[in-house]
A and B are shown apart, each in its own frame.
Chain A
Amino acid sequence: MKVSPFPAAAEHELANVQLRRNLRAATDTIQSKRARVVAELPDWEALRDAGSEIKADVLARLDELLVEFETAATAAGAHVHWARDGAEAGAIVARIAREHDVDEVVKVKSLTTDEIQLNDVLATAGVRAIETDFAELILQLDGDWSSHILVPAIHRNRTEIRDLFARTIAPGIVSDDPADLAEASRVYLRERFLRAKMGVSGANFGIAETGTVCVVESEGNGRMCTTLPPVLVSILGIEKLLPRFDDLEVFLQLLPRSSTGERMNPYTSLWTGVTSGDGPQELHIVLLDNGRTRVLRDEVGRQALHCIRCSACLNVCPVYTRTGGHAYGSVYPGPIGAILTPQLIGIENASSLPYASTLCGACYEVCPVKIDIPRVLLHLRAEAVRARGRSAERLTMRIVGWTFESARRFTLAQRVARTAQTPFARGGLVRRLPPPLSGWTRSRDLRAVAKTSFRSWWAGR
């Protein structure tokens, strides 16, 4: 897989005025809600420290904790599977479906399953996966894809959704009141929940100590999928572990406040193997690598595996809030996508993503597990430069560096630039530059090189 270059993809998205308006309104709302509930806690920074340190500990002991998780979950009655990549994980889920003669599964929103394109894999195996999260349902009905981790249809407004429902699950619907739209999806999905033979979920956390799986959600579709069907398969990225049950006291504070800006999300489900007579009587857990061990190999970049997918970094990002998620070309958009995708699929396949940032640092400031995203971006830019090898840019940067290593050369360069700008400069401003600098003058004037540089002014003082 290779993602298309960010600059062009972003430019395409920027042209969509409706998208920009929807996105801006939504990210503004969620950002201020988050700020309000975070400010309520006097110990927020201590929670962030704990969250970040617990995750660092998980990565340091990942192999040991995975085995501990497997042992505990198995003892509690779950079947634990391992998958090196998405194809392997998809095959496991498809096989379980086949064994139970199932041609339809209900599914909770999960980035991990999107990452491995599970729905397509299942479709090939003759199994229809029904997305049950409201937003995911909208996207699935429209053949669209997610643009936000938490609010996947953030780019759609109510009228667009009403029109879509009228064409698909609710012929004749006229109201675009969110309550009526939600009711339409309730009616459509209820029947499917009640008849479902198999549920598929991701997971927010897996507890190594107890083998517990945890799903955090709002609508109740998660509870439906993980309790009603007799068979449940949950796919867990290997980095999702927490060492101990009590660690939830940190993460269940960090996650809802950072993501939906609520003190607590409506529903959190935790199950530990099979409970006789209650919920699925056959439980599967698939532990997925799919590039995560590759991320772990990078000492600086591995902190991206701390991510709890809260999406706070998206909502504050000056780039994401303008371009939306599609420009990032993967299921992980925004600042976290810019550092995670290149590591998961290889920098050579996503080399423009680490540059899709102004390095403003707003993401780092809000990240509940303190991922130093700007630092990882710089690290990955260096990797991208290395991977590209010889290039015009590298040559230029070498020459610029060499120039800066001597004041004499630098002074000379200033003089050359002053002469070179003559055809472009007027009244101290440059209004149009040739490529590759033409991007600047599209929307901005540029200060011309001064007649008297600071150093010559100083020398003549």
Chain B
Amino acid sequence: MSDARTEVLARIAAIPREPAPEPSRDYRVSGERSADEVVELFCTRAADYRAEVVRVDAAAVATAIVRILAAHGAQRVGIGPGLRSEWRPAGCELVDESALDVAGLDRLDGAITGCTVAVAETGTIVLSGSPEEGRRALTLVPDLHVCVVMREQIVELLPEGIRLLGPLVRSEGRPLTLISGPSATSDIELDRVEGVHGPRRLAVVVAG
């Protein structure tokens, strides 16, 4: 008996197939909106899927975060080891997530991260495991995720975002998480319920 790999590949190789033509790509790959419109669109779309969106000056990020944490009653908050100091809120306990195991993450009230890129048309933020974003579990186990998006990180269309992410995957194999609103299920009579296993609350701070 030959091994499965050899056999599956042989089965395929034995099938006559014409080479397929180069796929057409006549869809939009770059947006036409102005920078302001793109930011506007991102905020609307993210809010559409029930993310809580606040827009602030770059200098006011930490204050905005303080307000969000207070509103949600979050005390112990996890951060990636590289979260920039000017975003770190005062008046709460910040815990470096790299020191925590899963049970430790489960005891956090929330998490604060940056992001790698955001897509306006779909209201999506993308995390890629940078020191400012932490491990994937940081934005999964705690019930509140506060994500800071800088204005210049927002692109209009998904293809623009994907093309920025490609190099990170190709050269560093970075894990990616695309997040569009808090976790949700529509399994009961297609009624959308926010918050199942992932964070039930997603707050997006758009800076700049």
Chain A residues contacting B191 (CB-CB under 8 Å) are: 158, 178
Q: Are A158 and B129 in contact (CB under 8 A)?
A: no
Q: Are B175 and A271 in contact (CB under 8 A)?
A: yes
In the assembled complex, A99 has its CB within 8 A of some CB on chain B: no
Bound complex: CA A245 to CA B11 (Å): 26
Q: Which of A45-100 contact B (CB under 8 A)?
A: 46-47, 49-50, 53-54, 56-57, 59-63, 66-67, 76, 81-84, 88
CB distance from B58 to the nearest CB of A (A): 26
Q: Are B197 and A249 in contact (CB under 8 A)?
A: no
Q: Are A270 and B23 in contact (CB under 8 A)?
A: no
Q: Which of A223-249 contact B (CB under 8 A)?
A: 223-224, 227-228, 238, 245-246, 248-249
In the assembled complex, A9 has its CB within 8 A of some CB on chain B: no
Chain B minimum-CB-distance residue to A75: B173
Q: Which of B1-57 contact A (CB under 8 A)?
A: 3-5, 7-9, 11-13, 15, 17-29, 45, 48-49
Q: Which of A192-210 contact B (CB under 8 A)?
A: 193-194, 209-210
CB distance from B99 to the nearest CB of A (A): 11
In the assembled complex, A26 has its CB within 8 A of some CB on chain B: yes
Q: Are A272 and B173 in contact (CB under 8 A)?
A: yes
CB distance from A178 to the nearest CB of B (A): 4
Q: Which of A147-198 contact B (CB under 8 A)?
A: 151-154, 156-158, 161, 178-179, 181-182, 185-186, 189-190, 193-194
**Contact partner of A262 among B49, B98, B183, CB < 8 A?**
B49
**Contact partner of A57 among B20, B49, B174, B175, CB < 8 A?**
B20
Q: Are A227 and B136 in contact (CB under 8 A)?
A: yes
Binary interface profile of B, 147-161, with partner A (CB < 8 Å = 1, else 0)? 000000000001101
In the assembled complex, B60 has its CB within 8 A of some CB on chain A: no
In the assembled complex, B110 has its CB within 8 A of some CB on chain A: no
| Partner-contacting stretch, out of A289-297, A337-345, A376-384, A420-428 | A289-297
Q: Are A266 and B190 in contact (CB under 8 A)?
A: no
**Contact partner of A246 among B98, B162, B175, CB < 8 A?**
B162
Q: A25-B189, A29-B190, A224-B197 are in contact. Are A250 and B27 (CB under 8 A)?
A: yes
CB distance from B45 to the nearest CB of A (A): 7
Bound complex: CA A186 to CA B45 (Å): 27
Q: A182-B193, A246-B162, A278-B129 are in contact. Are A219 and B170 (CB under 8 A)?
A: no
Chain B minimum-CB-distance residue to A182: B193
Bound complex: CA A156 to CA B186 (Å): 12
Bound complex: CA A153 to CA B173 (Å): 36
**Contact partner of A53 among B24, B169, B174, CB < 8 A?**
B24
In the assembled complex, B116 has its CB within 8 A of some CB on chain A: no
CB distance from A36 to the nearest CB of B (A): 12
Q: Are A189 and B197 in contact (CB under 8 A)?
A: yes
Chain A residues contacting B122 (CB-CB under 8 Å) are: 263-264
CB distance from A13 to the nearest CB of B (A): 19
CB distance from B178 to the nearest CB of A (A): 4
Q: Are B19 and A60 in contact (CB under 8 A)?
A: yes
Chain B minimum-CB-distance residue to A270: B176
Chain A minimum-CB-distance residue to B4: A82
Q: Are A26 and B140 in contact (CB under 8 A)?
A: no
Bound complex: CA A68 to CA B185 (Å): 35
Binary interface profile of A, 240-280, with partner B (CB < 8 Å = 1, else 0)? 00000110111011000000101111111111110101110
Chain A residues contacting B4 (CB-CB under 8 Å) are: 81-84, 88, 289
Chain A residues contacting B20 (CB-CB under 8 Å) are: 53, 56-57, 59-61
In the assembled complex, B102 has its CB within 8 A of some CB on chain A: yes
Q: Are B162 and A224 in contact (CB under 8 A)?
A: no
Chain B residues contacting A178 (CB-CB under 8 Å) are: 185, 188-189, 191, 193
Q: Are A194 and B102 in contact (CB under 8 A)?
A: yes
Chain A residues contacting B193 (CB-CB under 8 Å) are: 178-179, 182
Q: A56-B20, A67-B9, A297-B15 are in contact. Are A266 and B179 (CB under 8 A)?
A: yes
Interface size bracket, A side: 35 or more
Bound complex: CA A305 to CA B207 (Å): 44
Chain A residues contacting B135 (CB-CB under 8 Å) are: 227, 277-279
Chain A residues contacting B189 (CB-CB under 8 Å) are: 22, 25-26, 157-158, 178
Q: Which of B129-144 contact A (CB under 8 A)?
A: 129, 135-137, 140-141
Q: A218-B183, A272-B173, A296-B15 are in contact. Are A227 and B140 (CB under 8 A)?
A: yes
Chain A minimum-CB-distance residue to B129: A278
Chain A residues contacting B71 (CB-CB under 8 Å) are: none
Q: Are B196 and A47 in contact (CB under 8 A)?
A: no
Most-contacted residue by chain A among B24, B29, B49, B198 (CB, 10 A): B198
**Contact partner of B140 among A59, A66, A220, A265, CB < 8 A?**
A220
Chain B minimum-CB-distance residue to A218: B184
Q: Are A252 and B21 in contact (CB under 8 A)?
A: no
Q: Are B136 and A220 in contact (CB under 8 A)?
A: no
Chain A minimum-CB-distance residue to B10: A63
Q: Are A182 and B8 in contact (CB under 8 A)?
A: no
Bound complex: CA A255 to CA B103 (Å): 34
Chain A minimum-CB-distance residue to B161: A249
Q: Which of B95-112 contact A (CB under 8 A)?
A: 98, 102-103, 106
Q: A245-B169, A267-B198, A275-B129 are in contact. Are A43 and B26 (CB under 8 A)?
A: yes
**Contact partner of A223 among B29, B140, B163, CB < 8 A?**
B140
Binary interface profile of B, 86-129, with partner A (CB < 8 Å = 1, else 0)? 00000000000010001100100000000000010111100001
Q: Are B170 and A209 in contact (CB under 8 A)?
A: yes
Q: Are B106 and A293 in contact (CB under 8 A)?
A: no
Chain B residues contacting A311 (CB-CB under 8 Å) are: none
Q: List the 10 shortest-distance A-B pairs measured between CB atoms, nearest first.
A: A220-B198, A53-B23, A220-B197, A220-B183, A264-B122, A249-B159, A268-B178, A264-B180, A219-B196, A249-B162
| Given A133-B187, A227-B137, 13 new contacts (CB under 8 A) | A81-B4, A152-B187, A181-B188, A186-B195, A209-B170, A224-B197, A238-B8, A264-B124, A264-B178, A267-B178, A268-B177, A270-B169, A296-B17
16 contacts between A and B (CB under 8 A): A25-B189, A46-B25, A57-B20, A63-B9, A66-B8, A82-B4, A83-B4, A84-B4, A186-B195, A220-B198, A227-B136, A248-B162, A249-B159, A249-B162, A272-B175, A277-B135
